[in-house]
């Protein structure tokens, strides 16, 4: 990627222009991925930011992770019988939270890889 520069007091400053970025808000898994890249791969984080590919990458990772969590929850719920939601809502909520935690444990390694 070729940059044009502006000379300001003897310093060459790149003329950076942001392209059209999606307006979709970044979800939980996208933020986890962003934090991982920023802390563990700062050069990749900076390069993706400069190239304008960071946000689309984070949105894609967020969508993929969310879909995998939902699919895993469905698979896990099919393997065991759920408590009755109407007669025992607290136990049902605990059961669903446990399924979600298990599904997220399976997805997190994907977000923490380079």
Give this prediction's pTM.
0.78
Question: What pLDDT was estimated at residue 1?
Answer: 56
- Tell me whether strands 11-14 and 5-8 are parallel, antiparallel or unpaired: antiparallel
pLDDT surpasses 70 at 107 = yes
pLDDT digits (tens, 9 = 90+) for 48-95: 988 889 999 999 999 999 999 999 999 999 998 889 999 999 999 999
* Residue carrying the six token digits 């607290």: 90
Rounded to the nearest 5°, which phi and psi values hold at 41?
Answer: -140, 65
Rounded to the nearest 5°, which phi and psi values hold at 51?
Answer: -80, -10
Rounded to the nearest 5°, which phi and psi values hold at 29?
Answer: -75, -35
Which helix H or strand E contains 14, and what residues bound it?
strand 11-14
């Amino acid at each position: 990627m070729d940059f044009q520069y502006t000379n300001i007091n003897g310093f060459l400053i790149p003329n950076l222009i942001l392209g059209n970025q999606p307006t979709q808000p970044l979800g939980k898994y996208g933020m986890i991925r962003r934090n991982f890249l920023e802390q563990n791969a700062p050069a990749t984080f900076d390069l993706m930011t400069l190239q304008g590919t960071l946000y689309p990458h984070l949105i894609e990772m967020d969508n993929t992770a969310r879909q995998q969590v939902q699919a895993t929850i469905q698979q896990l719920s099919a393997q065991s019988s759920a408590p009755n939601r109407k007669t025992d809502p607290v136990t049902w909520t605990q059961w669903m939270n446990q399924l979600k935690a298990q599904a997220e444990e399976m997805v997190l390694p994907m977000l923490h890889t380079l």
